[in-house]
Structure 1
Amino acid sequence: MSPIVEAFEKNVPIPSGKVVLAARGLSVGHGGSVAYVQKLDLEVGQGEIVALLGANGAGKTTTLMGLAGLLTAQEGTVELDGETVATPLHSRARHGLSFVTQERCVFMSLTVRDNLRVGGCDASALDYFPELKPHYSRTVGLLSGGQQQMLAVARAIARHPKVLLADELSLGLAPMLVDRILEALVEACRNENLGVLLVEQQVTKVIGIADRGVVLRRGRLELTDTAASLRGRMDEVRRLYL
């Protein structure tokens, strides 16, 4: 068992900070189509990790895109740090939102150093991933997929956002690399009071490091509970995937 999961098994208290991101009756769809995610109510607190779970097609990525401003809300509102926002992603980024997509969000033709510079960061961004420091001057396209994902997460954290949206950080990565990235994410969350909304298909793994879990099914909220409670209800969670 990893040190991060062990900490949560010892009943570490759930953070009680203010709400930094919220969906209030949010309905979102693609290209003007009928809303697929419907009337979603969801909150992420300061210093809290919320796992957004569900089968393929449940609406998880659509939810993240709506919260990030990549899709326009058809109904309801998004609140960022207590204020209602209806702006695009670049504006929400300036007000404390970071989004790591499935595509890893790095420039393959640039070095690690230049990727950090483009993101407005310096070498201190690698403090959560010191294993990247020997590759500081290396072209990112020559790094492994795990190293590229570490860089994407490091750069997102280094902007000191209020909330981080992360979509399938484990995609295509070996289990040990996934554990390493999640460990750093938990550390950053606690050190920097960062709110995290994490989409992940590896349910047992993500419930092991989250504070709360939210399960979507066909675009609707089906279940929400503390992660500690959900770890004892995994049969129910898995049924919602069918």
Structure 2
Amino acid sequence: MEKLLKAERISYHADGKKVLENCHIELRRGEIVLLLGPNGSGKTTFFKCIAGILKHSGNVFVDGVNASKMKAHERFRLGVVYSPEKMRVAENLSVKENLAITGDVNEAVEFFPELKKLLKLKAGNLSGGERQLVVLARSLISKPKYLLLDEPFAGLSEKAFERVLKILVEKSEEMGIAIITHERVESVLPYVTRVYSILSGKIVSVIEENFEKELKRYLLID
């Protein structure tokens, strides 16, 4: 059986408005793919549908298992992990408690050693960059098969970005990683298998080569 996360014909309506229409994506282990589009195009909504956070029409398959009717926690158990945007942490819990929710705290510190000195601090007192490292570490230690990262580079310094990208490239050997990002797109492209472009809730292109040329065509990069 092919190890693959596949979403097809995903549609979603909110308040009577069509937000997504027949969207699709494929993600194999060993791949990094990007989902790019302007603000309001439906990127985050698409990831939330794939993760089961939003109820949708269409189908989601995880390693051949039809997860379309499964709730978020059931898809999580199949290995679909969504890492949200805006550095969302449980502010009243310590960093250690935030990390322990999903996995081994020591493993998180191995990924990001600077977390060690922050473990006892309340997550609400962290800087933006520190919060982002907690969010990323929490996602990685949850042992995903397919990791959906929504703006993972927000708030990171250039040095931290380079280290996070290196970790993601290394971890992509054992999992599939899909990324939404507005930041440092050109730096990520050398490691990408495919780029999905979404406009007004529809996938308008799937790019597998000449990334920069095609993305400039859709005005997704300068």
- The TM-score normalised by the length of structure 2 is 0.88
Q: CA deviation at 1:124?
A: 1.5
Question: Residue 77 in 1 paired to residue 77 in 2?
Answer: no
**Which letter maps to 1:125?**
A
Question: Residue 123 in 1 paired to residue 123 in 2?
Answer: no
Partner in structure 1 of residue 41 of structure 2: 58
Q: CA deviation at 1:216?
A: 0.8
Partner in structure 2 of residue 10 of structure 1: none
**Which letter maps to 1:157?**
L
Identity score, percent? 31
Q: CA deviation at 1:22?
A: 1.0
Q: CA RMSD in A?
A: 2.3
Distance 1:146 1:38 in 2: 34
Distance 1:18 1:145 in 2: 38
Partner in structure 2 of residue 30 of structure 1: 14
**Which letter maps to 1:170?**
F
* Number of residue-to-residue matches in the alignment: 220
Distance 1:220 1:144 in 2: 35
- The TM-score normalised by the length of structure 1 is 0.81
- 1:157-213 deviation per Cα after TM superposition (whole angstroms, max 9, x unaligned): 1111111111112334444433332332222222xx111111111332332432211
Distance 2:13 2:160 in 1: 33
Q: Is the 8 A contact 1:113 1:123 kept in 2?
A: no
Q: Which of the residues 203, 212, 221 maps onto 1:231?
A: 212
Distance 1:26 1:46 in 2: 21
SS in 2 for 1:93: helix
Q: Is the 8 A contact 2:132 2:155 kept in 1?
A: no
Shift of the 187–41 alpha-carbon distance from structure 1 to 2, 3 Å rule, reads same
Q: Is the 8 A contact 1:47 1:195 kept in 2?
A: yes
Partner in structure 2 of residue 8 of structure 1: none
Q: Is the 8 A contact 1:36 1:219 kept in 2?
A: yes
- 1:74-108 deviation per Cα after TM superposition (whole angstroms, max 9, x unaligned): 3x211122211121212211221111111323222
SS in 1 for 2:50: helix
Structure 2: where are the runs of 5+ without partners? none
Structure 1: where are the runs of 5+ without partners? 1-16
SS in 2 for 1:155: helix
